[in-house]
Chain A
Amino acid sequence: MFKLKEVKAHCDVPCGIYDPIVAQIAALSVLRMIDLMHAAEGHDVDYHNSMARYVAVKESEAIKCKEEIRIIWGDFIKPPQIAENPEIHTIVHNIMMLGGAVKQHTSRDKAMELLSEVNKFTEIFWKIKGVKTKVAKSPYAPNEDVVYPVL
């Protein structure tokens, strides 16, 4: 009775490729840098060289974490999904603030809070995508809980 026609809803980039794993790895990296900073010993040139590198990586990974979350929140999350997950705005705002806090300080607790909020965001993201999640320790230092999709 009806002939099916194809109608394009295309984008100019390969849209639809979103994954919070980059933000999760960035949050883990911040945590790892803080652990290394607290474990560092000595006051020689090598110490200062290592410390400078830890700080630089902590800074850039915190920025990356915030940027990745902002992109998913701004580009992927849509009004119907916000209605179903009204806590998403608070979680994102917490990530923005904690992302700033871990740059300013070397508090492990703050870095753990950042990872926890990113994990909450990740749970919502995969729920929206209809993918189940599990919590497992990262298979590398800092070996903390991370939310992974069950694929």
Chain B
Amino acid sequence: MLQIFRISGDSLYPYYKNGQRVLGRKVFSKTNIKLNDTVVFEKDSYGLMIKQVKFIENNAYFVEGTSPSSIDSRNFGALTHKELKYKVLFKF
């Protein structure tokens, strides 16, 4: 249900920094995901990733980092709700 993650990388700087920890709540089919929510998901070649939701249309969730060089939906396309594993509650 709840999971702690340690962030590796700076693509969400300055909101989240390398090495910072966040608490995530598991995403279920009825979990409401809004714009600017930070979500954790898994992409085959990249592994477990964390990004922000920047655009939602139907069941397509477009996620981005804050860095122009971030690897995100600009590379691998939008995610489905089912692909979203955790919604970040807060950092600490």
Contacts and interface: CB of A to CB of B under 8 A. Distances in A.
Interface of A: 2-13, 15-16, 74-75, 78, 80-81, 128
B11 A10 contact: yes
B5 A4 contact: yes
A11 B21 contact: no
B2 interface: yes
Contact of B21 (A4, A15, A81): A4
B53 interface: no
Contacts of A5: 3-6, 48
Given A11-B71, A80-B14, A6 B65 contact: no
B12 interface: yes
A81 B69 contact: no
A7 B15 CA distance: 15
Q: Which of A6, A11, A74, A80 has the most CB of B within 10 A?
A: A11
A52 B12 CA distance: 46
Q: Which of A2, A74, A80, A81 has the most CB of B within 10 A?
A: A2
Interface in B1-46: 2-16, 18, 21-22, 40, 46
A10 B3 contact: no
Interface residues of B, number: 33
B87 interface: no
5 contacts: A5-B4, A5-B6, A9-B50, A10-B46, A81-B14
A33 to B, nearest CB: 32
Contact of A8 (B3, B48, B68): B48
Interface string B44-76: 001111110000000000000111111100010
A8 B67 contact: no
Contacts of B65: 9, 11
A6 B69 contact: no
Nearest to A74: B68
Nearest to A11: B69
A13 B11 CA distance: 10
Contacts of B69: 11-13, 15, 75
A15 B6 contact: no
